[in-house]
Amino acid sequence: MKKIFLLTVLLLANALTLNAKSENSLSYTAGYASQYIFRGIDYNKLRPAPYGSIDYSYDNKFYAGAWTSAYTGGDGATKEVDYYFGYTPTFGNFSLDIGHTTFLYPGSDTSGVSSGEFGLKLTFAPEKKPYSVEANFFQGDQGTKTETQEFVLNYGFKNFDTSFTYGDVENSNKYKSFSISKNISNFDIKISYIDNEMDTSGSVNTREFLTLDISKTF
């Protein structure tokens, strides 16, 4: 993964040099989730989680941003802050997303970076078709360096969009989710059913969730 990341940096530098007329864009998102569920795990003890992000895009290929959400952990932290950047080249009906995310938990009993991971996402989205398929791979770069594999099928109907996800977090848990989403008056509304199964039998984190997420991008 680190070799892929270095290659991405070189490709990005080349793109910036060759395309001086590329456009920049900056967007902001504010949202509210009934629960903060990430890869099948509840990170806010079943409580609602307001969140927000700021995202920068260059030529629709390079991106960087920051995201924050309410968080409740056993380490004293009350929020999570993520920083991320990446490169998204396209090849016909295929696109890649090669990037890195750093996860921070301000106020935690431990100092410094809590975790980080490299990500590689491959998407197949045929032109003028209502569906797309994703294969996502994540590699932690600290601690146990956990690997995560995730497969996503998206299908757009006339009045709403759907998404099915299956994920496997190494030596931790497997999760499935089904989401229905729709944009109403510039608000993105998503309802998700999530089924999480821990690798350790009898774990209290083996459970099901039904969540509501409402957000708006400016």
Among 3.40.640.10, 2.40.160.40, 1.25.40.10, 3.20.20.80, what is the CATH number of 2-217? 2.40.160.40
Better pLDDT: 199 or 15: 199
Whole-structure pTM value: 0.84
Determine what percent of the chain is predicted with pLDDT higher than 70: 87
- Helix (H) / strand (E) containing 199: none
pLDDT at 110: 63
What pLDDT was estimated at residue 20?
A: 47
Return the structure tokens found at 188.
Answer: 């993105």
Q: H/E/C letters for each residue in 32-54? A: EECCCEECCEECCCCCCEEEEEE
> What is the model's pLDDT at position 23?
84
Please tell me the number of Cα atoms within 13 Å of 194 on its side-chain side: 24
Is pLDDT larger for residue 20 or for residue 146? 146
List CB contacts of 74: < 8 A, sequence separation 6 or more: none
- Kindly tell me the sign of the dihedral angle through the C-alpha atoms of 66, 178, 191, 207: negative
**Domain assignments of the chain as residue spans, ordered by start:** 2-217
Q: Is the pLDDT of residue 112 over 60?
A: no
| Total residues belonging to the chain | 218
Confidence of residue 5 (pLDDT cuts 50, 70, 90): very low
Q: What is the pLDDT of residue 4?
A: 46
Say how many CA atoms lie within 13 Å of 8 toward its Cβ: 21
Output the six-digit token pair for 67.
């995201």
Provide the pLDDT for residue 115. Answer: 83
Residue 22: what pLDDT? 63
**Maximal C-alpha separation, the chain:** 57
Q: What average pLDDT does the structure give for the chain?
A: 89
The per-residue pLDDT for range 189-203, each reduced to its tens digit, is 999 999 999 999 889
Q: Is the pLDDT of residue 58 over 70?
A: yes
**Higher per-residue pLDDT: 135 or 10:** 135
CA separation for the pair 100, 140 (Å, rounded): 10
